[in-house]
Amino acid sequence: MNDLNGIFTALLTPFNADGSINFDSLRKLIEFNIESGINGFYVGGSTGEAMLMTGDERKLVLKAVSEAAGGRVKLIAHVGSTATDFAVDLALCAKGLGYDAVSAVAPFYYGHTLQAVKQYYYDIAAAADMPLFIYNFPAGNGFGLTADIAAEMFEEEKRIAGIKHTSTDLFMLRQVKERIPRAVVFNGFDEICLAGLSMGADGAIGSTYNFMGAKFVSLYNAFRAGDIEKAQKLQNEASAIIAVMCRFGVFQCEKEILTQIGIDMGQCRKPFLPLSAEGKKAVKEILINL
């Protein structure tokens, strides 16, 4: 898993005005990101609005991305779902398409027991027989992964390769790295990317990399080269932009920014609300400073 590291864009899904997937824009977005120097794509996650898509749509996106990327960057497919069988089906699809790894959010909605959550991951790993990244997103799904639980899971299932850590608990990130040397950990909140890297993250997966990939690649390289001052400057610049986006809707702002720079992204699916007039004004300011 040593080659899965660096900056991964959590790929947005562009939609047409009628709500269908805009594959032309998806290909443009992929080119734009590869040109920005990112190391890979995380496809079909929260940012991709996968939870607002049908299973068939999720598969079509997985296929379109693997074809367009054509082996130039690494690919992780997010296959998480409320039902193990759905997740397994998507994982098999990703495997057939040549993805490097799969990832899954814990099964949400029902308050499952820890044993049931673990079994969900083991079933996906066994069926797909490929590296699996636990998508740890406690604020989004209510399942609180701990370093203890992670250590048990990595021990019990060797195909579990890492964690996408979308949490501000960086002490836990460090504990995972200390206790599970083979764990590959990606930082999940872009506004603390540098902090995550400094606590031992191997890379970062994020939504704002859709349009700020070049900035975060520079940040990553500066950090690895030991130029902390430069890395901090880049993080602070990015965080100022992200702070504005958080006020108006992160995905809506990302889509508006990309649309303004020439990649028609359309709207987020309902129940996301469209970007407000105030949000559009804020995006204009962001664009001036980009």
Active site residues: 135, 164
Q: Which residue is associated with the tokens 């120097």?
A: 37
Residue 163 vs 205, nearer CB to ligand MN9 = 205
CB under 6 A: which stretch of 28-36, 201-209, 219-227, 256-264 binds ligand MN9? Answer: 201-209
Burial of 76 (0-12, 13-18, 19+ CB in 10 A): buried
> Which of positions 157-186 make contact with ligand MN9 (CB under 6 A)?
166
Alpha-helical segments (H) within the chain: 23-35, 55-69, 84-96, 114-128, 138-141, 147-156, 170-179, 193-198, 209-224, 228-248, 250-260, 277-289
CB under 6 A: which stretch of 12-20, 179-187, 199-207, 231-239 binds ligand MN9? Answer: 199-207
> In the set 21, 65, 197, 242, which binds ligand MN9 (CB under 6 A)?
242
Closest C-alpha among 136, 176, 180 to residue 46:
136
Q: Are 42 and 205 in contact (CB under 8 A)?
A: yes
By the rule CB under 6 A, 38 interacts with ligand MN9? no
Q: Within 10 Å of residue 185's Cβ, how many Cβ atoms?
A: 27
Smallest distance from ligand MN9 to CB 207, Å: 4
Smallest distance from ligand MN9 to CB 184, Å: 16
Structure tokens at 138: 């406690």
Distance from the first to the final alpha carbon of the chain: 34
Residues facing residue 42 across a β-bridge: 10, 76
Return the amino acid letter for 43: V
By the rule CB under 6 A, 10 interacts with ligand MN9? yes
By the rule CB under 6 A, 203 interacts with ligand MN9? no
Smallest distance from ligand MN9 to CB 115, Å: 26
Residue 46 vs 92, nearer CB to ligand MN9 = 46
> In the set 25, 141, 207, 252, which binds ligand MN9 (CB under 6 A)?
207
Alpha-carbon distance 71 to 131, whole Å? 17
By the rule CB under 6 A, 47 interacts with ligand MN9? yes
Smallest distance from ligand MN9 to CB 126, Å: 26
- The footprint of ligand MN9 (CB under 6 A) covers 10, 45-47, 137, 140, 166, 188-191, 205-208, 242, 246, 250
